[in-house]
Amino acid sequence: MSEPRKIYISTPITGLPLEEVDKNIKRAKLAIIAKGDIPVSPLEITKDSPHNATIGHYMGKDIEHLIDNCEGAYFTRKWKESKGCNVEYITAKVYEKEIQFE
């Protein structure tokens, strides 16, 4: 059996209610765990960010983590409608990460 890999969760966040974001992340976590891998939530990566942090701050932390610490990325429903998810998708492709879709 292979070692579990870290899989970054890419999901729309900006402009959505936190409850919806949490629901999407929980659903993604279950799918990733079911495959024997370790889910990495963008909310966990940036949990210590300042209250007034910019989107650039959040995206920078998430992209850095995706590149340096994850073997793949999991894209939730409606990811194509999110600017941030599109940046994460391009990053995952350029850095040859495994790409999964909900």
Q: Domain segments of the chain: what residues? A: 6-101
Contacts of residue 72, Cβ cutoff 8 Å, sequence gap at least 6? 5, 6, 7, 8, 37, 92, 97, 98, 99, 100
Q: Taking the chain (102 residues) in consecutive chunks of 10 residues, what is each chunk's mean pLDDT?
A: 92 95 98 98 95 95 98 97 98 98 97
85 sits in which H/E element: helix 83-94
Contacts of 5 (CB under 8 A, 6+ apart): 37, 38, 70, 71, 72, 98
| CATH code given to domain 6-101 | 3.40.50.10400
pLDDT at 1: 62
At residue 28, the pLDDT reads 98
Does the pTM surpass 0.85? The reply is: yes
